């Protein structure tokens, strides 16, 4: 896991897998640790939280106010979260939705920050986050390309170019027909930054498909139990699912290769067994003139290449051949 966080995100050989813990800790630090353990076991790279203060996020008469108030990350959790994540080889970061929690993340020494889709149009927050000078991951749910352009311009105007964009569909859970994974190459062609995918589907295959399309980062919600009460549990993956997703992502990484067509040593060995070649279809005596009926094109690849079939028909053999024996150029020499 050498290299800076941004180098790891941009690494074309390894997907940066983010376990989005969000508010799925339910205000219980012991549950946070259990979730981090799952992320570590899965081989994830980072754990992400949501740093909101209900009073700075929505009106007090909102039906969600009390719930969100109960899920706020306490200030004294931040350094503990960073330490516990580091102990497990994980990067700790969070989505700061206001200047206060942004400051708490700075105090804790966060190496990475997140701009969530609902904050994509909050240009002052984007500029302030970018000005910290650390890498930032920005989700693009609900946004047009023009709105993404504006957010990117606000970010890069600060001189910070360590940006990763996540294709995202802000449905919870997201329907497969809404995902449009081909937006990933669209964003890759439009912006000179790594592009990833924030996945709100209930399956693991969509993220795997995103990796095959070149996603450099995958963000997926993780819960201990989808039946728990809370805003994010119902569309999150449970531990076994998250582990399976990450294992499959690593397998796809290994399978993607370089795009250069080569023949592996194992394939070369198989070609000797599986390619077909010319063999005697029956016992043939010395001096026999070969006809099409005298020749079989069968495995293994120890005789003449099938391209020579028409060439040797009508040719006299100089050596007797047993049925099934390979026909080689030596068959026609004294």
Instruction: For residue 168, list its beta bridge partners.
Output: 198
Distances, alpha carbon 181 to alpha carbons 16, 170, 185, 205, in Å: 17, 14, 8, 12
What's 54's DSSP letter? G
State CA 126 to chain mean position distance.
Answer: 26
Q: What is the pLDDT of residue 1?
A: 47
The sign of the dihedral angle between the CA atoms of 5, 149, 219, 245 is: negative
**How many other CB atoms are found less than 10 A from the CB of residue 199?**
31
Q: What is the pLDDT of residue 230?
A: 87
User: Which residue ranges of the chain lie beneath pLDDT 70?
Assistant: 1-2
Structure tokens at 138: 């920005």
Name 169's Cβ contacts closer than 8 Å, sequence gap at least 6.
141, 178, 179, 180, 200
Domains of the chain with bracketed CATH: 5-256 (3.20.20.70), 265-332 (3.90.1210.10)
Name 330's Cβ contacts closer than 8 Å, sequence gap at least 6.
319
State CA 112 to chain mean position distance.
Answer: 19
């Amino acid at each position: 896991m050498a290299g800076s966080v941004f180098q790891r995100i941009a690494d074309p050989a390894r997907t940066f897998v983010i376990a989005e813990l969000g508010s799925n800790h339910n205000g219980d630090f012991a549950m946070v640790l259990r979730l981090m353990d799952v992320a570590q076991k899965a081989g994830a790279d980072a754990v992400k939280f949501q740093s909101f203060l209900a009073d700075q996020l929505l009106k007090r008469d909102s039906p969600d106010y009390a719930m969100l108030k109960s899920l706020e990350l306490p200030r004294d959790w931040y350094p503990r979260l960073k330490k516990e994540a580091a102990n497990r080889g994980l990067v700790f970061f969070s989505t700061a939705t206001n200047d206060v929690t942004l400051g708490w993340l700075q105090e804790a020494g966060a190496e990475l920050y997140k701009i969530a889709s609902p904050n994509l149009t909050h240009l002052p927050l984007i500029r302030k986050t970018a000005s910290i000078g650390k890498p930032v991951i920005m989700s693009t749910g609900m946004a047009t390309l023009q709105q993404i352009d504006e957010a990117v311009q606000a970010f890069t105007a600060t001189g910070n170019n360590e940006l990763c964009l996540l294709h995202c569909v802000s449905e919870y859970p997201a329907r497969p027909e809404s995902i449009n994974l081909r937006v990933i190459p669209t964003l890759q062609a439009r912006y000179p930054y790594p592009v990833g995918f924030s996945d709100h589907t209930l399956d693991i295959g969509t993220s795997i498909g995103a990796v095959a399309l070149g996603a450099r980062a995958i963000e997926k919600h993780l819960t201990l139990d989808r039946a728990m009460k809370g805003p994010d549990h119902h569309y999150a993956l449970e531990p076994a699912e998250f582990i399976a997703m990450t294992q499959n992502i690593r397998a796809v990484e290994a399978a993607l290769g370089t795009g250069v067509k080569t023949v592996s040593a194992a394939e070369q060995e198989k070609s000797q067994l599986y390619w077909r070649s010319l063999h005697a279809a029956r016992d043939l005596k010395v001096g026999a003139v070969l006809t099409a009926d005298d020749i079989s094109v069968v495995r293994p690849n120890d005789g003449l290449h099938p391209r020579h079939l028409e060439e040797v028909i009508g040719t006299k053999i100089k050596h007797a051949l047993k049925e099934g024996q390979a026909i080689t150029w030596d068959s026609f020499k004294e």
